[in-house]
Amino acid sequence: MKIILFGATGQLGCSLHNYLCSHHQIISNMNNDQRIDLKSKSQVESFLQENPADLYINAAAYTNVDEAEINQKECLDVNYEFIKILVNFLKTHSKPLIHFSTDYVYGNHEDEYLKETSKLNPINFYGKSKKLGEQEISDHLSHYFIFRISWLYSPIRKNFYVTMKNLFQQRNEISIVNDQWGSPTPVEFISEHIKFLVNNNSFNISNAGIYNLSPKGNTTWYLFAQHILQSLNNDLSKTVLLQSINSDEYLTKAKRQNNSKLNCEKFQNTFKVELEDWISLYKKYDY
């Protein structure tokens, strides 16, 4: 299969490329001879016209949640304006699109598992921009798959796991939020399931729609940090004290929702798969 992959240098895109390239031809907007700027309408349109494919995957996104509050145009350029260009092309080419969204489109909810049909009320600009991207896709395409993912981590790029590993080396005491709940998600978890679905031709139009995709179980950032610290203890030459705090004690530019627990029953039932829990996945992918 010939696949166009946007965002191949990000932590998710890099993983997707590695998982898919052995069985499929992957063309990325970051290839040395086809490096394009997603903020350039002409470059994106030319790239799409010159590289017809069987499947389009968008793992590109502006993901700096705090900086999005300040750099709103830059955030919209990637999370919304680029999506408009891609959607406009796909409207006339009848090929499936896989797009990755975020738990931040939901906003604040009570302590419940969020379903695909739960109300969307993002409380930060990043979440608002991703909601706009979702709406552009669902309003104008019929053959699309939007996967809402959360708490993504890997050994590369900027994420909670990498940040904690660095802080454990630098500090003796760290304060971490303990009232935000979600499911830590290694990029391999997402990539494995996308590879399985691609190889089994599961992306037919009858399955099109929006899906939550995260491991089973949930935890807080504080408890996740404890797991990371425990796994690194043998590599540290000092004791690090973790301090539990509430969100209102840790001020950030962007607001964060307390509940990012995703209900993934739709994904499991549609594609007939059983999702692993986040703790076993953390042990499985020992970075």
User: pLDDT tens, position by position, for the chain (287 residues)?
Assistant: 999 999 999 999 999 999 999 999 999 976 655 678 999 999 999 999 999 999 999 999 999 999 999 999 999 999 999 999 999 999 999 899 999 999 999 999 887 899 999 999 999 999 999 999 999 999 999 999 999 999 999 999 999 999 999 999 899 999 999 999 999 999 999 999 999 999 999 999 999 999 999 999 999 999 999 999 998 877 777 889 999 999 999 999 999 999 999 999 999 999 999 999 999 999 998 77
User: What pLDDT is attached to residue 235?
Assistant: 74
Query: Taking the domains of the chain in order of start, what are their residue ranges?
Result: 2-155+185-216+261-284
Cα–Cα distances (Å) from 94 to 12, 58, 142, 144, in that order, read 25, 16, 9, 10
Q: What does the angle CA 100 – CA 215 – CA 79 come to, to the nearest 5 degrees? A: 15
User: What pLDDT is attached to residue 238?
Assistant: 82
Q: How many CB atoms lie within 10 A of CB 178?
A: 19
Nearest to 245 by CA among 172, 179, 171: 179
Structure tokens of 83? Answer: 């999506």
DSSP tag of 119:
P
Single-letter amino acid, residue 164: M
User: What pLDDT is attached to residue 60?
Assistant: 97
Q: Which residue has the tokens 């903020």?
A: 39
User: What pLDDT is attached to residue 34?
Assistant: 62
What's the distance, CA 8 to chain centroid? 13
User: What pLDDT is attached to residue 237?
Assistant: 75
Is the domain spanning 2-155+185-216+261-284 CATH 3.30.365.10? The answer is no
CB 259 within 8 A of CB 195: no
Three-state DSSP class for 78? helix
Nearest to 25 by CA among 51, 59, 46: 51
Quick check: pTM over 0.85? yes
